Structure 1
Amino acid sequence: MARNASKEEIERNNKSQKMRSRTLKAARRGGKPLKREGKVSVSKARSKTPRSQKKLATIRKSRS
């Protein structure tokens, strides 16, 4: 059975939620997203091979 939260807890939760939304909006404006814990950026893993090498590989495939 879920217990009812007190008024203090509700106010504290509301304040933290407002702060979170403010920081997210500010980060969006600044172009820098908030770093989430445990998230691996996929773009770094993909960008290891330069695009020119990929183009060469596709050209070679199409020619053979």
Structure 2
Amino acid sequence: MDTRPAPGPSSPAERARGLDPEDVLLQLSVLWRIDPAHGGDARAARILDLIVDGLRRPRPEPASAE
């Protein structure tokens, strides 16, 4: 059974930045693997900060091959 979300149109901003909604969901899926009994809240907060910071950061321009 395929549980991936149905592909949908992405916004022009997402396409311009090279964002894929499936990639974001995959990154967020790591949060379900964190053991809440062993510092899970702090670890989840750190990981979520890394993901969100990565989404906010502008994508570097590709180097031109001259």
| Normalised TM-score (structure 2) | 0.32
Give the structure, 1 or 2, with the largest relative contact order (CA under 8 Å, sep 6 or more).
2
Structure number with bigger Rg: 1
Normalized per residue, which structure has more helix? Answer: 1
| Normalised TM-score (structure 1) | 0.33
